[in-house]
Structure 1
Amino acid sequence: MKSLPKGGSFLFDQTNPQAIFTPEDFTLEHKMIYRTTTGFVTDKVLSQMDELEAQKDSLLRELLEAAGELGLNGADVPEDYDGMNMDKISTTIIAECMGRSGSFAMTHGGQTGIGSMPIVMFGTHEQKKKYLPGIVTGEKIGAYALTEPGAGSDALSAKTRAELSPDGNYYILNGTKQFITNSAIADIFIVYAKLDGDKFTAFIVDGDSEGLSTGAEEKKMGIKGSSTRSVILEDVKVPVENLLFEIGRGHVVAFNILNLGRYKLAANALGNAKFALELAASYANERKQFGTPIANFGLIKEKLAEMAIKIYVAESMVYRTGGLLENILHSLDTTGADGGQIAAKGIEEYALECSVNKIFATEVQAYAVDEGVQIHGGYGFSAEYTIERLYRDARIYRIFEGTNEINRVLVPTTLLRRAAKGDLPLQEAIEKLKGAMAGGSLVREGEAGLVQAAKDIFLLTIGAGLEKYGKELQKQQEILGRLADLAIGAFAVESAWLRAQKAVANEGGVKAKLKLSMARAYINAAVGLLEYSAKETLTALAEGEELAGLLENLRKLTNYAIRDTVALRQEIAAAISENGKYGV
């Protein structure tokens, strides 16, 4: 069997464009799922948004049951438990389309992701048989109770306690969980607690358990239609058979679920950003000033184009990663009793890419909704226009599933850890680059050269970091954050370029022209930003002659002629205005 790329290997290897998955590879079934999910969101959710935002009684449950009837709740659930067991591209499509649904995306994500996947991946047969069929239909609603008032990103510092009852039949839970999605309506809670005060362990807790209560609804900036409350556990008896996975290994459950959660959140953010662009393009076509649609004004064109470019790159990254996840899961035997754990281990291989996607897509979303408001002008600040809600709703995405700061730390530390184990050739790549730079200037020809430059900029910079700090580099968060940005940039430019090259090969240059223009516009702009970030980082890592040498090497890596990106954006803006939405 053909070997699969290791997580993080994009920084060291050349990738064949035909080896990646792109949206152009959607099957007829994928397209049908896209239409079905988008239709559900438009007909069932957006049509009732006012009622949803007002938290109309029973509406969330009704919507989840309606989603269940269409098979949208059971995409990741095995068929043995009434699920659809879809491929990872299909589940990504569902997550993307749900991104249009505002706060309901959080409700649905809590149901189909973090609220049920711990059982799918780590539950026993009996636990799966008891809980998953109800999750699939929407008759049972799931929630994920990890965060506490004093334990957010540092989840392992949780104070919630669990103790075995004297008769050995129950675990007794005491503590408080904070910011729990679906808490007001949940029938099933995945709760993390420390057994005997130190063994971090996961439990399945029934929502009607005596001693379990919820606080008042949080008054939130956005996603107002979702339920977010604290969950209070006061001597809650949990049957011993509801212990999830193994005692003291709750962190394995939590962190593996977060990998998939981060990836799905990136897909949500992608769908939400596309919706923002659609609203902005439509408004720009209709709104006239000085006798002409504002879509004809240069600075509005530039905004529409840049929104589309960034969305194209995020879309390329998300579905490339979806292809990686699907390929590795397809290569594994997940038919046994421990199949879920095997799948979780497979997904963990691309934990770094999941974090990269989460950071990039949520920041593209933030950009898109912000520019969407700006294009609407004063009307964008009015609650009568949908873009105002999208702006408020988007802010939480950079906090959910591990803040973007935490994820930025994870990207380089994961690379360093895997390199130390011999899984990634980091030091070899750094030494190889040094040898190439010693030979003189490296001329970068075209976008393919700039993609390699992005990777080399990362290697040069992390090499300088290791030179100064060694293993202590993992404690330098300011440096780690910038290294993360360089790695994210490398994955972004490569994903955009590979997709464009695949499209040119498969569709021809004329049909793929817009994709090619988007990739070129992004890459030419991004490399300059990566170069500046590297300069800033290198200046913090060295001084004197050493710094001068590093900056000279950086100059060698970024010796390129930039394209006319203004003209490229004008071309892209014209296509967006004509379509009235994102479309490549």
Structure 2
Amino acid sequence: MQLKKQVVGGGFLVEDLEHDDVVTPEDFTDEQRMFAETAKDFLENEVLPKDEQIESLDYELTVELLRKAGEVGLLGADIPEAYGGLELDKVSSSVIAEVLSKASSLSLTMGAHTGIGTLPIVFFGTKKQKEKYLPDLATGAKIAAYCLTEPSSGSDSLGAKASAALSDDGEHYVLNGTKQFITNAAFADIFIVYAKIEGEGFSTFIVEKEYEGVSIGPEEKKMGIKGSSTCPLILEGVKVPKENLLGEAGRGHVIAFNILNIGRYKLGIGCLGAAKESISLSAKYANERKQFGKSISSFPLVGKKLAEMNMATYVLESMVYRTAGLIEQGLQGLDQDAEDAGLQYAKGISEYALECSINKVFGSEVLDFVADEGVQIHGGYGFIQEYKIERIYRDSRINRIFEGTNEINRLLIPATLMRKALKGQLPIIQQAQALQGELMQMMPGQTFEGVLGEEEHLLQMAKKIFLMCSGLAVQKYQEKLEQEQEVVSHLSDIVIQIFALESALLRTKKRVEKLGEERNQLAVCMTKVYSHEAMDRLDGFAKEILTHIESGDVLRTQLSMLKKLTRKSSLPTIELKRHIAAKVIEAEKYVV
């Protein structure tokens, strides 16, 4: 689907969008649904029957399955046709990733290969590098791994100690150092490695397994994702041909950060698939499990859990496909063989860095919530390995650490916004300044039109809450704001809730316009409940920020303004959640 207009990253905070400005699952084409079916067939015929072997860390089987995936095109979705791939749009590759998330550890293995392992070459490689490596990566003849983290540097990736020095003859870079927690390390053939040239120029290299001095450390014994390989990569005097420098020397951070952005939004997609599976497992179990003479699904508190699991997943689904559409828009029309292709790709991806971080944080926390509630519904059996919900629960925990911890991403979101505001790309400062006078004149009491009229109003108020709190925080702390991490984190949470609320609202409005309200009662119901509960959360975040910033009469005035912004009607949430639960219990799966 072509978006109606060019959407600026972060622009959702300062402008009104229409439902044609977002991509939703309802926009999937027949071709995209066909790719989903191809992935589903591979999953059901090749992967799930061998699930236990994969979880026991059978390297040989994992590599065999990766090559089979390559044969049916599942590894080449993001690789250009000129280099053996399918060159699909980002929505199509997202659909594939969501389906394959049910493959548990193998989905992580494939994701690391197709995403952070392959995309650095797709986006930033020279024509020769693409010709040499991409055809084998598309088929699975070669497996890729991404090597950024080190024993002493996790979130502080630029603090890496791995070194690179140009050889005396100028033909090689000599690499030394250790990379930690490398997914696919045990059987990867190609490593994307970050190291500092002469201790300063953070740079990226394509390293082959066969190079002398490359060795792999022992497997880590992990809490979850046990069927994926996670080992250290050790580099001892490794001579890497100078033509294997990826991108420009000293500009490795451009590659690292933008590949992490892609990894963040794709992580959100994986969380979506796992959340849907958790709902299905839990609803089926709740219908089968009898206590006190009846199915536990008939108990309202179990139904409440299923309703909230389904609602959070609906919102997440709305967000991740919206983001996939944005990234597709940002990368459309780029000349992949141009001399400045890497810079073009970096610009297109970084435009939506904010949205990628939002997806990562929200998606990982939704899955943790859904998996946790799934275990609770299963009761004691949820603690037993025979039931897959136990594995989903363990596997989900890493997502809040992967691709930059959620804490780091929460700090990045406001920082990214402020950077864009100072560059004049977003009128946040101007709108925040204009808001104070508007708030003083706001009058109580409003009427709303349309099926989601009040929810549209709440969205507008949520944006004003962000402008109010961010404006006061910047005014109070100025350049020292980044030191007030609790305030920054709460500002980030407000932004995340706004994006979530708006994504669900625009999607539901699109559904209602296309099929009518009667056929979309469930989507309308979920959007109403989520919107009202999101406002309660925003109220809590804003009160903490204001109470930290202000005091006395000034605080009382600000809290009075906040009360105007958070005013809403009473919603019969118990009744509405019972309606959602009934649909989930009847279908025994995620429903819309």
* Shared fold per TM-score greater than 0.5: yes
Q: 1:404 aligns with which of 403, 406, 409?
A: 406
Question: Which stretch has the larger CA shift, 94-103 or 495-504?
Answer: 94-103
Deviation at 1:344, TM superposition (A): 3.0
Instruction: Name the Cα RMSD after superposition.
Output: 1.3
Amino acid in structure 2 at the alignment position of 1:112: T
Contact kept, 8 Å, 2:127 with 2:337, in 1: the verdict is no
- Kindly provide the CA deviation profile for residues 40-61 of structure 1, in whole angstroms up to 9, marking residues without a partner as x: 2233222212111111240110
Deviation at 1:438, TM superposition (A): 1.3
Deviation at 1:473, TM superposition (A): 1.1
- Structure 1: how far apart are the matches of 2:118 and 2:582? 44
Match of 1:199?
201
- Percent same amino acid among aligned pairs? 52
Change over 3 Å in CA distance of 1:191–1:335 after alignment to 2: closer
Match of 1:273?
275
Q: 2:296 aligns with which of 294, 297, 301?
A: 294
Contact kept, 8 Å, 1:313 with 1:496, in 2: the verdict is yes
Match of 1:490?
498
Deviation at 1:6, TM superposition (A): 0.9
Change over 3 Å in CA distance of 1:437–1:120 after alignment to 2: same
Q: Is 1:463 the counterpart of 2:471 in the alignment? A: yes
Q: Secondary structure at the match of 1:400?
A: coil
Deviation at 1:281, TM superposition (A): 0.8
Alignment of 1:128-277 (within 5 A): 128-277=130-279
Amino acid in structure 1 at the alignment position of 2:66: L
Amino acid in structure 2 at the alignment position of 1:371: E
Q: Secondary structure at the match of 1:159?
A: coil
Q: 2:560 aligns with which of 537, 552, 564?
A: 552
Q: Is 1:14 the counterpart of 2:19 in the alignment? A: no
Amino acid in structure 2 at the alignment position of 1:409: L
Q: Secondary structure at the match of 1:457?
A: helix
Q: How many pairs align? A: 584
- Kindly provide the CA deviation profile for residues 293-347 of structure 1, in whole angstroms up to 9, marking residues without a partner as x: 1111100000000000000000001111111112222254546354354233212
Contact kept, 8 Å, 1:284 with 1:295, in 2: the verdict is yes
Q: Secondary structure at the match of 2:227?
A: coil
Match of 2:362?
360
Q: 2:527 aligns with which of 507, 515, 519?
A: 519
Change over 3 Å in CA distance of 1:287–1:2 after alignment to 2: closer
Question: Which stretch has the larger CA shift, 380-389 or 34-43?
Answer: 34-43
Deviation at 1:243, TM superposition (A): 0.7
- Structure 2: how far apart are the matches of 1:4 and 1:64? 37
- Structure 2: how far apart are the matches of 1:34 and 1:433? 46
Match of 1:536?
544
Deviation at 1:105, TM superposition (A): 1.7
Contact kept, 8 Å, 1:382 with 1:388, in 2: the verdict is yes
Amino acid in structure 2 at the alignment position of 1:395: R
Change over 3 Å in CA distance of 1:337–1:60 after alignment to 2: farther
Amino acid in structure 1 at the alignment position of 2:129: Q
Question: Which stretch has the larger CA shift, 288-297 or 255-264?
Answer: 288-297
- Structure 1: how far apart are the matches of 2:91 and 2:553? 50
Unaligned segments of structure 2, at least 5 residues: 449-453
- Structure 2: how far apart are the matches of 1:57 and 1:18? 45
Deviation at 1:280, TM superposition (A): 0.4
Contact kept, 8 Å, 1:441 with 1:559, in 2: the verdict is no
Question: Which stretch has the larger CA shift, 149-158 or 97-106?
Answer: 97-106
Q: Is 1:448 the counterpart of 2:450 in the alignment? A: no
Q: Secondary structure at the match of 2:465?
A: helix
Match of 1:94?
96
- Structure 2: how far apart are the matches of 1:357 and 1:530? 18
Q: 2:580 aligns with which of 550, 572, 584?
A: 572
Q: Secondary structure at the match of 2:518?
A: coil
Amino acid in structure 1 at the alignment position of 2:565: L
- Structure 2: how far apart are the matches of 1:57 and 1:151? 28
Contact kept, 8 Å, 1:95 with 1:265, in 2: the verdict is no
- Structure 2: how far apart are the matches of 1:331 and 1:455? 32
Match of 1:77?
79
- Structure 1: how far apart are the matches of 2:444 and 2:192? 53
Q: 2:389 aligns with which of 369, 387, 399?
A: 387
Contact kept, 8 Å, 1:146 with 1:155, in 2: the verdict is yes
Question: Which stretch has the larger CA shift, 75-84 or 451-460?
Answer: 451-460
Q: Secondary structure at the match of 1:58?
A: helix
Deviation at 1:411, TM superposition (A): 0.4
